Amino acid sequence: MNERAPLPEPLARPPHGRVLVLAPHPDDDVLGPGGTAALHAAQGDSVHVVILGNGQAGDARHRYAPAEYTAIRHAEALAGGAHLGLESYEFWDYPEGFHPSPEIMGAAARRMAAVVKDRAIEIVYAPWAGEHHIDHHFVARAARIALVLAGFRGEAWGYEVWTPLVATRIVDISSVYARKMAALLEHKSQIEHVDIVHTGLAISAQRSIYLPRDAKHGEAFAPLGPPAPEDLPVLEACRRAE
């Protein structure tokens, strides 16, 4: 029985606070915590979205010049965010699909920490560290380092996109589910070769099993946690660089 998963806490709405969403690619801000971010915005919370990747790996058919495709992905992200009530975006345009060096991870972590401090962030959403996709995994690891550097004392939650997590919190997004779908539909460059609406939203129906009977869709979260032991040298290098 000690391997039994916990029963997650169901929430009708997220807590109040200034929010930062860290997304590996344009569309992950919607696929992961998009409904929850919409609820935050609707209740008057400021929500700032940082998208780290340049989106170029999404051009599966190599039909566009890299800079042109990045511009397309930026525009899709902004259009998608508008459906969710999100207006504040940063695009860092890191290259995608590789295992970052400690130097790159440290630089990203310091940059994240600066955003957390400058915006007095109280709630952070980032991919959970168990995500299989290398870009998602990298963002999770960098985020955990960043929060230590920032002296963060708020709530930090990991979200799922590629790899389901063992949830400790489920937010009921039934009231904004249609808006989340509309936001995903703005990512036409991705829908051309992957049905992200079907594959990305299917898990939200399963997550509703933990919510009241009339709920139809939920988003799952688990604590982001501290840096992994293997990332402590990066953390210490960042501290020395401050």
Q: Can you tell me the distance from the alpha carbon of 94 to that of 135, in angstroms, rounded to the nearest whole number?
A: 10
Quote the tokens at residue 11: 């929430």
Q: How many CB atoms lie within 10 A of CB 134?
A: 14
Q: Is the pLDDT of residue 2 over 90?
A: no
Structure-derived torsion over alpha carbons of residues 194, 195, 199, 204, reported in degrees to the nearest 10? 130
Q: 207 or 54: whose pLDDT is higher?
A: 207
What's the pTM value of the predicted model, to 2 decimals?
0.96
Q: How many CB atoms lie within 10 A of CB 98?
A: 12
Structure-derived torsion over alpha carbons of residues 35, 36, 38, 44, reported in degrees to the nearest 10? 170
DSSP secondary structure letter of residue 151: T
Q: Can you tell me the distance from the alpha carbon of 185 to that of 52, in angstroms, rounded to the nearest whole number?
A: 21
The string of pLDDT tens digits covering residues 71-114 is 999 999 999 999 999 999 999 999 998 889 999 999 999 999 99
Q: How many CB atoms lie within 10 A of CB 33?
A: 34
pLDDT of 57 reads 77
Planar angle of CA 231, 236, 241, nearest 5 degrees: 125
The string of pLDDT tens digits covering residues 117-151 is 999 999 999 999 999 999 999 999 999 999 999 99
Q: Which amino acid is at 34?
A: G
Cα 222 from chain centroid? 12
Complete DSSP assignment for 15-80: PPS-EEEEESSTTHHHHTTHHHHHHHHHTT--EEEEEEE-SGGG-TT--S-HHHHHHHHHHHHHHH
